[in-house]
Structure 1
Amino acid sequence: MQDMIVRLMELPDISEAETYHLEMEKIIFRRPIQPEKSLVVNWVRENFSQNWADETEMAFASLPANCFIAQRGQSILGFACFEVSAKNFFGPTGVLPSERGKDLGKVLLVKSLQAMKEMGYAYAIIGGVGPASYYKKVVNAEIIVDSEKSIYQNLLMHHK
Structure 2
Amino acid sequence: MPDLLVNLLKLPSLEPDVVRMEKAGVLIRRAQPFEITLVRSFVEEHFSVAWADEISVGFANKPVSIYIAVLEKQIVGFAAYECTRKTFFGPTGVAELLRGLGVGRALMIASLWGLKELGYVYGIIGGAGPIDFYEKAVGAIVIPGSDHGIYTNLLK
Matches of 2:49 and 2:75 in 1, distance apart? 17
TM-score for both structures, normalised by structure 2? 0.96
RMSD: 1.0
- After TM superposition, the structure 1 stretch with the greater mean CA deviation from structure 2, 54-63 or 9-18, is 9-18
Q: 4+ residue runs of structure 1 moved beyond 2 angstroms?
A: none
What corresponds to 2:94 in structure 1?
95
Aligned-pair CA distance for 1:93: 0.3
Residue type at the aligned position of 1:56: I
Q: 1:72 Cα deviation (Å)? A: 1.3
SS at match of 2:127: strand
Aligned length: 156
Gaps of 5+ in 2: none
Partner residue, 2:85: 86
The residue aligned with 1:6 is 6
**Is the CA contact (8 Å cut-off) linking 2:94 and 2:103 kept in structure 1?**
yes
Which amino acid is the alignment partner of residue 64 of structure 1? P
Deviation at 1:27, TM superposition (A): 1.2
**Percent identity over paired residues:** 42
Q: Using the alignment, how far apart are the partners of 2:155 and 2:92 within structure 1?
A: 19
Amino acid at match of 1:2: P
SS in 2 for 1:101: coil
Distance 2:80 2:16 in 1: 22
* Partner SS for 1:128: coil
Question: Match of 1:67?
Answer: 66
Task: Provide structure 1 residue ranges, at least 5 long, that are not aligned to the other structure.
Answer: none
Corresponding position of 1:48:
47
- CA drift at 1:151: 1.2
User: For residues 116-142 of structure 1, what are the alpha-carbon distances to aligned partners after superposition, in whole Å with 9 as ceiling and x for unaligned?
Assistant: 001000000000111111100100100
- Whether the aligned pair in 1 keeps the contact of 2:21 and 2:28 (CA below 8 Å) is no
